[in-house]
Amino acid sequence: MESLRVIEIVGTAAFSIAGTFAAMEKKLDVFGTFIIAFITALGGGTLRDILIGEVPVKWLFEYGAGLIVLLSTIAGLLFRTLIKNYHNVLLFFDSIGLGFFTVVGIQTGISLGMHPLSCIALGTITACFGGVIRDISLSNIPLIFQKEIYATTCILGGTVFFILLELGVPLLPVEIICLLTIVLFRLLSVKFNWHLPTIWKTT
């Protein structure tokens, strides 16, 4: 658990539970469920680290993240009978993970002295691509490409992040506001069925 921070722990746990429920919908066995939870939680950060050359990837040496995935998967399996609607639970934990991991990705970019545009790209990759790899592995069309507001939420949150920072707001409140923006906007967009235009619908 050496270098994991609270924000990473919460994001990892949330995405692991989301992954566990996605795997349940496809009736995988317990090990397949763990792998899918692992991919969902750590896939985005792994892709980010590969793209920026931060290898060897941390989870190969530090077992904190893997342990959180394991415990979250077990929790997800134990509480499954209490849950009526897998899809809503998946949505809730996915939104939490989306918010926390966007902030983690932006922090990575800032710590490398990157331009805000690059930081937002890293945040979006960190938050979204675990789910993309999960969906591809389960033969689903990735959520990110569907007519739902998904990656757009991360970009919106990242933009809010750098506007507030530019205005002189201290880092901690900026991170919290960014996080809440993403979680709330994601949940509201699903509840009220907001979506981006698919302008060729008319054809």
Residues at the interface with a second copy (CB under 8 A)? 23-24, 26-32, 35-36, 46, 50-53, 55-57, 60-61, 63, 77, 80-81, 114-115, 117-118, 121-122, 132, 136-142, 144-147, 151-152, 195-201, 203
We find the least distance from the C-beta atom of residue 187 to a second copy, in angstroms, to be 18
Q: Which is nearer to a second copy, 31 or 172 (CB)?
A: 31
From CA 138, how far away is CA 133, in angstroms rounded? 9
Q: How far is the CB of 176 from a second copy (least distance, A)?
A: 26
Per the document, the length of the chain is: 203
Measured between alpha carbons, how far is residue 79 from residues 19, 53, 93, 169 in Å?
Answer: 14, 38, 14, 40
For residue 102, the minimal CB distance to a second copy (Å) is 15
Q: Judged by CB, which is closer to a second copy: 160, or 195?
A: 195
From 145, 151, 161, 159, select the one nearest 186 (Cα to Cα): 151
Q: Residue 136 or residue 171: which is nearer to a second copy going by CB?
A: 136
Of residues 133 and 178, the one with the C-beta less far from a second copy: 133
Q: Give the nearest distance from C-beta 173 to a second copy in angstroms.
A: 27
- What is the rounded CA–CA span in Å between residue 107 and residue 129? 17
d(CA 38, CA 131): 11
Tell me the closest approach of the beta carbon of residue 170 to a second copy, in angstroms. Answer: 27
Structure tokens at 107: 């922090």
- Which of 2, 1, 43, 3 is CA-nearest to residue 19? 43
CB 127, min distance to a second copy, A: 13
Nearer to a second copy, 10 or 131 (CB): 131
Q: 94: which 2 tokens?
A: 């996915």
Q: Which is nearer to a second copy, 26 or 176 (CB)?
A: 26
CA–CA gap between residue 138 and residue 113 (Å, rounded): 36
